[in-house]
Amino acid sequence: MSPYRITRTLPEDVTGAALRADVAAGLTGEPKTLPPKWFYDARGSDLFEEITALPEYYPTRAEREILLARAGEVAAASGARTLVELGSGSSAKTRHLLDALGGLDTYVPVDVSESALTGAAGQLLAERPGLTVHALVADFTAPLALPASPGPRLVAFLGGTVGNLLPPERAAFLASVRALLAPGDSLLLGTDLVKEEATLVAAYDDAAGVTAEFNRNVLRVINRELGADFDPGAFAHVARWDREREWIEMRLRARHAQTVKVTALDLVVDFRAGEELRTEVSAKFRRAGVRDELAAAGLELAEWWTDAAGRFALSLSRA
């Protein structure tokens, strides 16, 4: 078998079709919403990399701390010969796991971006010539069919990205992961934890304004891809902690009444002064809640690791 293969399960125009559908539904809904995945064009990805280095944004550092300290325990607990990473991107954060999984045969990165997968695979194969990489161009929020690979398999979903899914979406996602797991397989899940409000809000509203630019980038994506005429400067960045739901919401607030045209959709959207467009939900978790959500999907929490400050957790669960 070649050390690198790539399988595409997405139609060529699936991204454009999904963007059109999401924008049409989101801008005509009440309240108005957009999914956070549309932040991530090339500029958005660069901005997010800047965010991860900001002093206020702790999740990336906290998860890296756990991976560095506990990767050997993850390897021992999972016994994995195949690592499947959902939403792999550049695969940078998984290198600690790859180092620790000494008996690893195969790495299966899953992402919607073929260019990101190809770039990451080239680097990994140069560093680890004995590794087989079978990249999968796919949407991990939809049911997946994984390529054949040696077991046991460890499915990793890192970065706290599971918190961007609303509760019904999380339930469906975890059920779909459970359906992938054979006996002996396991799930490694990254979850940001509930903590004091000031720390949470600061992580999504940094003093340098990088997150504000990241938030407004979704408007630039819609302008470019769908011929819209949003003025990003006419929207203020808002980060709010919802105590009842225990999640952060990022919003864009119209600074004044305005009308936006989206040419590709033949759509005209009115915004009232002060009206808010929700662009992201980022749920925060408690151990009991994670355990219960996993159990509802048919998964049993087996291991739980946090960083020293208790800000972030990695959990290992099995069918």
For residue range 220-230, list pLDDT tens digits in order.
999 999 999 99
Mean pLDDT of 106-112: 88
pLDDT of residue 90: 66
pLDDT of residue 7: 86
For residue range 175-200, list pLDDT tens digits in order.
999 999 999 999 999 999 999 999 99
Answer yes or no: is pLDDT of 112 > 80.
no
pLDDT category of residue 103 using cuts at 50, 70 and 90: confident
How far is the C-alpha of 129 from the C-alpha of 301, rounded, in Å? 34
Chain-centre distance for alpha carbon 158 = 8
Q: In whole numbers, what is the pLDDT of the chain averaged over residues?
A: 92
Better-scored residue on pLDDT, 91 or 99: 99
Answer yes or no: is pLDDT of 269 > 70.
yes
306: helix, strand or coil: strand
Answer yes or no: is pLDDT of 91 > 80.
no
Answer yes or no: is pLDDT of 1 > 60.
no
Cis peptide before 152 (omega within 30 of 0): yes
> 3-state SS string over 117-144?
HHHHHHHHHHHCCCCEEEEEECCCCCCC
